[in-house]
Structure formats: structure tokens, C-alpha cells
Amino acid sequence: MKYTQLGKTGMRVSRLVLGTMNFGTRIDEATSDAIMDRALELGINFFDTANQYGGSHHGLTEEIIGRWFVQGNQRREKVVLATKFYNEMANAVDGPNDAAGVSAYKLYRSLDASLARLQTDHVELYQMHHIDHTANWDELFQAYETVMAQGKVYYAGSSNFGARHLAFAAAAAEKRHFLGLVSEQHLYNLTQRLPELELLPTARDLNMGVLVWSPLASGLLAEDALTVKTGRRAQKAAKLSNAQRQQIEAYEALCQSIGESPSTVALAWVLHNPAITAPIVGPSSVQQLDEAVHAVELELSPATLAKLDEIFPGPGGAAPEAYAW
């Protein structure tokens, strides 16, 4: 496994992040435990979760991770743990303050609830799951400063923010002499390249880490994307236009020509971008996790990268040069 620093921090994380959204929903607890054990064996030290994960039982995923931690063998000490807050929790009793959004009130309560489920006294990275356009940065950063002083959180992060939100946050943090956001978790893959226009250049300018969710485009960039008959992938494939199906067919043919699986190429392409810290992989089995690790070592040739650009053209680079003279 290869490692890198998370943005402007000195904390080193693996170039793959173990995503846990399937724990307790698509896969059972025993399989979840086996995947986490294997992740550590493979050198993956960065785990990502959220307080809402667990299907109708919000928080179940954190509970599964917590029960895995207390099995011993320094499991907790070996993991850089990230979780998130924003969404309303189905089993909460806070009334109007439990609605989706972020605030100091929600941060304090959500964090304590997550720590209890995770059976730990801290998380390394505490992320706002979505942008809240009504939030006050001074309020939020004061709350983050408080939980950091208490040792409950090491770093602050965001997810699904726009480039302008990262800039606003950086300005507010500088005014407070606060480290501010160290990472942004964002949708990015071969079929969704719009972040190249503003988000990724902004993150690089601010020396922020970027964690990529859905690097396989919900399975469209994985094996047999057009032939799978059931499940979410089949539903997503059924909605593709003829032009999109032709893209996937061309992509699969390219992968076959270079002797690599589509999922491996998709992950390697994300890792090739210097703005990216790590993609988040959400395996449903130990075998899928083993296969994903190969992407860290795969170096795509200039010819392959050019062909990928031809199949999945991006926005033309960073703004404003991508669309202005």
C-alpha cells in the first residue's frame, strides 16, 4: 500500500479509503468484520463512515464498526477514522433541531452519539456531510475548536461542498487563526468530470485533500456493467442513453485491450490525478477489496489516458481557461 498526507496535515493515510456504507445493509456484520480485518492486512488505514449509514436503522454501520474495534488487537489504534454528520437521524428525539443541516448544537450532539456507537473517544476526521447554505462559519469553527480541544476530533472536513464554499471556509478559518477544513469528499469519476472545472483546482490551491466517492460511478465502471441483470447497477444501466452505452462499451473494450479490469482502470485513473488523496472503495466482499488494491500500483500509459479522455471527455480543464480565451 502507498500512503500520502491528508491535505495540509501531517497525518498519513492510505491511497485507498475503505468505505463502509454497505455494512449492515448490503452485507452482514460477519462479512463487514472480515473486510475490515483484510483492509488492515492490506495496509489500508483510512476508514470512512457516516452517522446515517445503516439503512432504516440509522447508525447501524457505526455500531458494527464499534463492535469490531472492541475485539482488540489494536484495531482502533491502527485506523484513521472518518465519520460525518448533517442528515436527520430516524431514531433521534431532538425535534426541529434534528432536521438536516449543520450547527454547533447538531455537531456536539451528533459527535457524542457517533462516538458512543463507534465505542471510541475520538475520530480523526469529522466531516460535514453536505453544505448547509444557512450555516455560520464562526459558529461551526468555534464548535470544531471546542471538540478538538477536548480531544474528540483531530481534523475538520467537508463533503459535497462547492468550490466557493471551500474558499469561504478557508477565509473564515484564516480570520480565526484556525486550521480549517483539511479535506473535501466529492463525487468524481470518468463519467462525472465536472469537478475538474472548479472544485479540484480550488482544493489544490487551498492544499486540501480530496476523497472521492463513487469512483466506479455506482458500478457502471465495474465489470459487466451492461450485462448485470439485477440490483442497483442493472437499474442504473437501464437508464443509460444509447450514447452513454456506447461510451461504456468503448471503455470495456479499452480495458480488455490493456489486460486490466474496468474497476481497476477506473480507480487508477482517479489516483492518477495529483489533486486526489484517495478514492473510497465500498467492497461487498474480501475478494472485491483484494482486487481494488491492484489499482494503487497500476500506472496508466499516456496512450491509455488519452483514449480515456476521448471516451469520457472532461470539461476542458480548469476554469476559466476551459471556456474563456
| Cell matching residue 316 | 476542458
Kindly give the pairing relationship between strand 80-85 and strand 46-48. parallel
Whether 53 is catalytic: yes
Backbone angles phi, psi at 88, to 5 degrees: -70, 145
- Catalytic site residue from 53, 86, 126, 155: 53
- Matching residue, cell 433521534: 92
Rounded to an integer, what distance in angstroms lies between the CA atom of residue 241 and that of residue 302? 29
Among residues 145, 129, 39, which one has the least CA distance to residue 88? 129
| Cell matching residue 40 | 488492515
Q: Which residues on adjacent β-strands are paired with residue 192?
A: 189
- Chain CA centroid to CA 112, Å: 22
Among residues 314, 278, 312, 311, which one has the least CA distance to residue 295? 278
Residue 3 corresponds to which amino acid? Y
Q: Angle at CA 177, nearest 5°, toward 176 and 181?
A: 85
Q: Is 186:211 a contact under the CB 8 Å cutoff?
A: yes
- Matching residue, cell 452513454: 244
| Alpha-carbon distances of 317 from 147, 205, 213, 255, 309, rounded to whole Å | 38, 15, 21, 24, 11
- Which residues are CB-contacts of 153 (< 8 A; sequence separation ≥ 6)? 111, 122, 123, 124, 125, 126, 144, 147
Q: Would you name the residues annotated as active-site residues?
A: 53
